[in-house]
Amino acid sequence: MELKPIAERFVLHWGEMGSRWGVNRTVAQIHALLYLAARPMDAEEITETLGVARSNVSNSLKELQAWNLVRVVHIMGDRRDYFETSTDVWELFKLIVAGRRQREIDPTVTTLRECLANPAIAEEDQGVQQRIGETLEFIDTMSALADEMLRYKPETLMKMLGTGAKISRAIRR
């Protein structure tokens, strides 16, 4: 597959953004390519399109599968594995949020709870205890808000966000 200039720009930019978000550049580029292609692609075609090493593509696809962002599909009469991703941006957003929560938020909450439950916390400065408690409370509150928001249908959520923005602008005046 040959990328036209705008698609190439999107894929390259998505790779740059991935790096800024702590995701390997090639992983992000492969995801962007599959998203734009909106059809299954095999690893060899991905390798040729992006001009990256086959081993890099294989490892990147495994990482994308671990995030549930890419799934393996098969095509009748072809023994190769093909890979696809959702083209629904909201579904992708939910998968990314769930993955981030599992890998980053949940372990942090566990650590904060363990710190507060540890009897040695009494030996810590009162300010340290307070800040750990406040951090846990903040993360719990934001997680509950995110969970609630992700339960809504995309169109409902977009209306809510639009209304929230209007209210915010009105309050600032």
Q: Determine contact, residues 46/70, Cβ cutoff 8 Å.
A: no
Per-residue model confidence (pLDDT) at position 122? 95
* pLDDT higher than threshold 90 for residue 152: no
pLDDT in tens, 49-93: 999 999 999 999 999 999 999 999 999 999 999 999 999 998 898
Per-residue model confidence (pLDDT) at position 99? 87
Domain locations in the chain as residue ranges? 5-84, 89-172
Q: What class has domain 5-84?
A: mainly alpha
Short-list 29, 34, 156, 146, CA closest to 97: 146
* pLDDT higher than threshold 90 for residue 42: yes
